[in-house]
Amino acid sequence: MTVLWRTRPGDRAPERTWVRAALLLLPIGLFGCGSPTPPGPEPSPHAVGTNDPAWITNRSALPPPDTDRINYDERTRTLTLYNLPGNDRWLVQLPGESRAQQVAPKHRIPDVDTSEVMVSYTRPGFKPSVPVSVKQIQDSGGAHVSIAEH
Q: Which residues pair with residue 141 across a beta bridge?
A: none
Q: Identify whether 118 is part of a domain.
A: yes
Range of the domain at 132: 63-139
Question: Is residue 41 in some structural domain?
Answer: no
Is residue 93 situated within a structural domain?
yes
Length of the chain measured in residues: 150
Specify if 89 maps to a domain: yes
Integer Cα distance of 81 and 121 in angstroms: 10
For the cut 90, the answer to whether the pLDDT of residue 18 exceeds it is: no
Give me the pLDDT at residue 89, please.
Answer: 93
| Lowest-pLDDT choice from 11-15, 41-45, 90-94 | 41-45
Question: Which residues pair with residue 106 across a beta bridge?
Answer: 80
Report, as an integer, the average pLDDT of 23-35: 69
Tally of domains within the chain: 1
**Which of 4-18, 83-97, 125-139 comes out lowest in average pLDDT?**
4-18
Residues 6+ apart with CB under 8 A from 130: 61, 62, 63, 64, 120
Residue 24 in domain:
no
d(CA 82, CA 70): 6
pTM of structure: 0.56
Is residue 20 one of the residues assigned to a domain? Answer: no
